[in-house]
C-alpha cells in the first residue's frame, strides 16, 4: 500500500472540485540496477473517484505520468458533507484508497 494521498473536495455553486496529490515513484520504463538486475516499470495505472458510492471518475494512466502526480477534476451533483473516495491501482497490483468530505 502506498503513502496516503492528500485529497481536497470543495463545492463551488453546485460544482465540486477535487484535488488529489498522490505519492508514488512512477518508474515509467525498463531499467537496470547497478547489480545488473532488470527493473520493470512501476506506475499508477488506474485512478477512480466516487461520491457517496456513485462513480464520478475513471482514468487509465500510461508510463508518462510524473513522480508524485497531482490530479484535479470537477463534477456536478455533490453536496457539502458528501464523502469523496479516491482509489489508485498500480502495475504491481498495489492500491491505495483515501476519502474526504466535501466542504
pLDDT tens per residue across span 23-40: 888 887 777 888 888 888
HEC string for the chain:
CCCCCEEEEEEECCEEEEEEECCCCCECCCEECCCCCEECCECEEEEEEEECCEEEEEEECCCCCCCCCEEEEEEECCCCCCEEEEEEEECCCCEEEEEEECC
Percent of the chain topping pLDDT 70: 98
Residue spans of the domains in the chain: they are 6-101
With bands split at pLDDT 50, 70 and 90, how would you rate the model's confidence at 1? low
Q: Does 64 score more than 90 pLDDT?
A: no
- pTM score over 0.85: yes
Question: Regarding the domain delimited by 6-101, which CATH topology (the fold level of the hierarchy) does it fall under?
Answer: Immunoglobulin-like (2.60.40)
Amino acid at each position: 500500500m502506498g503513502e496516503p494521498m492528500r485529497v481536497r473536495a470543495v463545492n463551488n455553486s453546485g460544482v465540486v472540485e477535487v484535488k488529489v496529490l498522490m505519492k508514488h515513484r512512477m518508474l515509467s520504463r525498463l531499467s537496470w540496477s547497478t547489480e545488473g538486475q532488470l527493473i520493470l516499470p512501476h506506475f499508477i495505472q488506474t485512478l477512480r473517484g466516487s461520491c457517496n458510492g456513485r462513480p464520478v471518475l475513471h482514468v487509465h494512466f500510461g508510463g508518462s505520468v510524473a513522480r508524485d502526480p497531482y490530479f484535479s477534476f470537477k463534477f456536478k451533483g455533490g453536496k457539502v458533507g458528501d464523502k469523496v473516495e479516491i482509489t489508485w491501482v498500480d502495475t504491481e497490483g498495489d492500491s491505495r484508497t483515501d476519502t474526504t468530505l466535501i466542504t
